[in-house]
Amino acid sequence: MHIHILGICGTFMGGIALLARELGYQVSGSDKNVYPPMSTQLRAEGITLREGYDPAHLQPAPDIVVIGNALSRGNPAVEYVLNQGLPYVSGPQWLAEHVLQSRWVLAVAGTHGKTTTASLLAWLLQANGLQPGFLIGGVPANFGISARLGAAPFFVVEADEYDTAFFDKRSKFIHYHPRTLILNNLEFDHADIFRDLEAIKVQFHHLLRTVPANGLLIHNRDDANLAEVLERGCWTPLEGFGRAAVEKGWTVNRHAADYSRFEVAFDAEVQGEVEWSLIGEHNMLNALAAIAAARHAGVPAALAIESLREFAGIKRRMEVRGEVAGVTVYDDFAHHPTAIATTLSGLRQRVGQAPIIAILEPRSNTMRMGVHADTLADALRAANEVLLYQPQGIEWDMAAIVNTLGEKAAQYDSVEAIIDAVVAQAEKDCHVLVMSNGGFENIHQRLLDALRQRQQTQPLAG
């Protein structure tokens, strides 16, 4: 069977491609932008990639076309599929019908932390001999790939609330029917498809309706929006996790300042102490959720806690891209004020008073619409310097953030200007945090190259 995937380089659709290839299908795909790490993964698996949406990519006709949610009516490939009567399906529906049936699905939902928590959970199952399948919106370093079939019964999926396709406006996660469901948090996001927070709550409650009574729902008990969704009706046993010590559920008794070490308790009984390479309170909460879900699948908490020592992180989640003369460059996917604030907080807890330069590209649809404009300045305050990229086509002026933050912030209309600014001010022991959910014109490698060139001619101060 030949499958052609439209939007193949998105993190989710790229995972669909890898799973289809592993099932033995011939797989090809098209995308507007083809860039690593997904393009590298796909080409390594022998999957043919084509730039753009030329209808010629669909000749000869594949057996089925899987259409990503980034495509809409008017796209030339979509119009060709419809006019020619080619069989088509959404990515989530294909996943549900060809992979998830008869599997124990462990789904991770929430505004933030889905990729990290799903990666943690997949690793905890793998490290304890369960060989799970997974589809994750990132590349866990322990696996080196974003999706695989694994061995039955367990399958971990990052459960996104974004809509399914131009012909199916339900959230993706409605298709997955999990037995184990993690609800990390709930905030307003995706303003391009949701009119308000209430619209997202409705979709989350639809998800709750799909979890069986013999399953488990693991929820962040500190999140008021999740609590409100649960109050609308829940038919599944609950386990909560959170910051405060409680008699029931998962919590942390004591921890290092940067959360690189913390003691885990369940129902007020100590289960063990985590020592790992990740930092930040948000990652501690992600770990609690993953430990709880792994326990539901049969992994004792003590073994899960021990396995976290070997968790190697995820590409584009506080990933160190390189270090030149004491200047460390990080890549992070943060695209929402809460994620930006928690990422900076975690880095600040680790590096102490060392200078942090934060670089932000507002690339997500919600960010480009300016929905979070009023909260971005506060989210960026932990940085010593803030460099904001103002791309063409953005619907609001980022100068207001610069005005709020004062002299520590500046606005740029080119990546070249940002690189020049960083090289001019970076000093030894400086940490440069690049935040974007896109390729950002390969700024990370270009920045490292510029720092090396600078070092050859004039060593950095510090």
Instruction: Out of 54-58, 171-175, 240-244, pick the least confident.
Output: 240-244
Residue 63 pLDDT more than 90? yes
DSSP helix, strand, coil percent of the chain (3-state; round to 5) = 35, 25, 40
Residue 460 pLDDT more than 60? no
Q: What is the dihedral of CA 438, 439, 440, 446, to 10 degrees?
A: 160
Contacts of 131 (CB under 8 A, 6+ apart): 125, 150, 151, 154
Pair of tokens at residue 225: 């929006």
Nearest CA to 104 out of 48, 177, 34, 155 is that of 155
What is the DSSP annotation of 302-350? HHHHHHGGG---BTTSSEEEEEETTEEEEEE---SHHHHHHHHHHHHHH
Token look-up 């797989």 returns: 27
Contacts of 82 (CB under 8 A, 6+ apart): none
pLDDT, position 23: 96
Residue 461 pLDDT more than 60? no
Q: Tell me the C-alpha to C-alpha distance, in Å, between residue 143 and each of 41, 43, 318, 405.
A: 12, 17, 17, 40
Report CA 270 to chain centroid distance, whole Å. 30
Nearest CA to 208 out of 167, 238, 164, 242 is that of 238
Question: pLDDT-based confidence at 39, cuts 50/70/90?
Answer: confident
The pLDDT mean for the chain works out to 90
Q: Tell me the C-alpha to C-alpha distance, in Å, between residue 373 and each of 79, 315, 398, 402, 440.
A: 36, 27, 8, 11, 20
Asked whether 142 and 125 are in contact (CB, 8 A), the reply is no
Q: Would you state the CATH architecture of domain 319-457? A: Alpha-Beta Complex (3.90)
What mean pLDDT comes out for the span 353-358?
92
Predicted confidence (pLDDT) per residue in 236-270, tens digit: 999 999 988 778 899 999 999 889 999 999 999 99
Nearest CA to 304 out of 274, 344, 329, 280 is that of 274
Predicted confidence (pLDDT) per residue in 316-332, tens digit: 777 888 999 889 999 88
Residue 394 pLDDT more than 80? no
Residue 53 pLDDT more than 70? yes
Crossing angle of helices 197-208 and 224-231, rounded to 10°: 50
Q: Say whether 319-457 and 102-310 share the same fold.
A: no
Measured CA to CA, the distance from residue 33 to residue 50 in angstroms comes to: 9
Residue 372 pLDDT more than 90? no
Predicted confidence (pLDDT) per residue in 75-133, tens digit: 999 999 999 999 999 999 999 999 999 999 999 999 888 999 999 999 999 999 999 99
Token look-up 């010590």 returns: 245
Pair of tokens at residue 256: 């290092």
Asked whether 14 and 76 are in contact (CB, 8 A), the reply is no
Residue 339 pLDDT more than 60? yes
Measured CA to CA, the distance from residue 128 to residue 310 in angstroms comes to: 12
Cis, bond preceding 153 (omega within 30 deg of 0): yes
Cis, bond preceding 140 (omega within 30 deg of 0): no
Instruction: Out of 189-193, 290-294, 436-440, pick the least confident.
Output: 189-193
Question: pLDDT-based confidence at 349, cuts 50/70/90?
Answer: confident
Measured CA to CA, the distance from residue 115 to residue 138 in angstroms comes to: 6
Measured CA to CA, the distance from residue 207 to residue 354 in angstroms comes to: 43
pLDDT, position 71: 95
Measured CA to CA, the distance from residue 46 to residue 440 in angstroms comes to: 26
Q: Would you state the CATH architecture of domain 2-91? A: 3-Layer(aba) Sandwich (3.40)
Domain boundaries, the chain: 2-91, 102-310, 319-457
pTM score: 0.80
Candidates 3.40.1190.10, 3.90.170.10, 3.30.70.940, 3.80.10.10; CATH matching 102-310: 3.40.1190.10
288 vs 42, which has greater pLDDT? 288
Token look-up 């009516």 returns: 73
Measured CA to CA, the distance from residue 86 to residue 69 in angstroms comes to: 18
